[in-house]
Amino acid sequence: MSSVAAYLDYNAGAPTRPVVVEAVTAALSIGGNPSSVHRSGRLARRAIEEARDAVAALAAVDAADVIFTSGGTEASNMALLGAVRGGLVQRLVISAVEHDAVRAAALAAGVPVEILPVDGDGVIDLVALGRLLAAGPGRALVSVMLVNNETGVIQPVAEAAAIAHGHGALVHSDAVQAAGKLALDVQALGVDLLSLSAHKIGGPAGVGALVKRAGLELAPLLFGGGQEYGRRAGTENLAGIAGFGAAARVAVEELPQVARIAALRDLLEREVTARVAAARIFGAGAARVANTSCIGLAGVPAETQVMALDLAGVLVGAGAACSSGKVRPSPVITAMGEAEAVARSAIRVSLGWASTMADVERFLGAYIEFAGRASLMRSGLGQKELSHG
């Protein structure tokens, strides 16, 4: 086995791009506080504003509407909690397949939270959205992710935004998994707020952005300074922001490479479904981004699959790994109407900028071999081989 693993967990975090390392290194050498008026401070401020321009271009917005944060989680918390605490909305509507960053923020907001159901492929029910908005009292904020982090399913956000705005609601979209895979345009999507994260596109971890509609102002979550135009107090993460800007530029430039990634993902899925009878691709009936495949193997827990593939030098994600490292039944898959046992079997294979055919072939070899041993175990044979192979 090669000592270099096949990394196929881009949705958890993409490998850092070389140009990002260069940008971070250059920013670290500046040494100034972006709020200072001397030469080093001005250089630091320039680096931040250049990065803001790049992130604004990624989302097709004005730079003044980009607020840098510590990541996608903070951006989504800022969107929901900032709207509630600022008195802009009195209730929240979130889809049943939202990331925990949105789900937990909604539950912590102190206002009624309504869940928008999805169909068997994980696509939101637009008719139900209209009913929810018409039935409840008070102005709502609707949060619908653009791309699901587990299945890669693309949500009809523009259609949802039109319905929401027709009821006077605000709209937030978690676009963390969409950046670099889809061309983003906040105005075309019709959203008021949009969350981004750097490390999903090959930037540094610990930096992200909330993009807002011009003229919309939220209550800040952090206090103590006038940074980010008074919207987020605290000295900016200069190195992280510079790296985010570099990653954003490359993400826009390399959007045409999505076709190459799609070809690899489609080959992977064809081989898996042709050679492993028990395998299922979740969300396959819906529009998906090119890099993501969520695969279920009935009766085999996701953590068992992830560990077996890791031993074979292939790194993939479990459907719903939490920060403790434990794996729980995927709430996304259960929201799609699947049984808990099925949801426990979901693994996520996600490709990205450095993925190759060799990575896919290595995954296929390891997965097909493991699935064969798992089948023997389920039939009551080969239990020793499965546990020791």
Catalytic residues: 322
Beta bridge partners, 116, equal 95
Cα atoms in the 13 Å half-sphere on the side-chain side of 373: 16
Residue 147 contacts residue 258 (beta carbons within 8 Å): no
Report which of 175, 131, 181, 180 is spatially closest to residue 155, judged by C-alpha positions: 175
Structure tokens, 315: 């790194």
Residues 45 and 37: their CA atoms lie apart, in Å, by 9
Reading phi first (left if > 0) and then psi (alpha if -120 to 50, else beta), residue 138 is in: left
Q: Please choose, from the candidates 4, 24, 339, 58, the residue with its C-alpha nearest in 3D space to the C-alpha of residue 206.
A: 24
Helices 126-135 + 157-166 axis angle, to 10: 20
In 3D space, the residue among 10, 30, 12 whose CA is nearest the CA of residue 237 turns out to be 30
Give Cα 302 to chain centroid, integer Å: 20
| Pairs from 269-274 (Cβ < 8 Å, separation ≥ 24) | 269/293, 269/295, 271/364, 271/368, 272/364, 272/367, 272/368
Q: At what angle do helices 72-85 and 100-108 cross, to 10 degrees?
A: 30
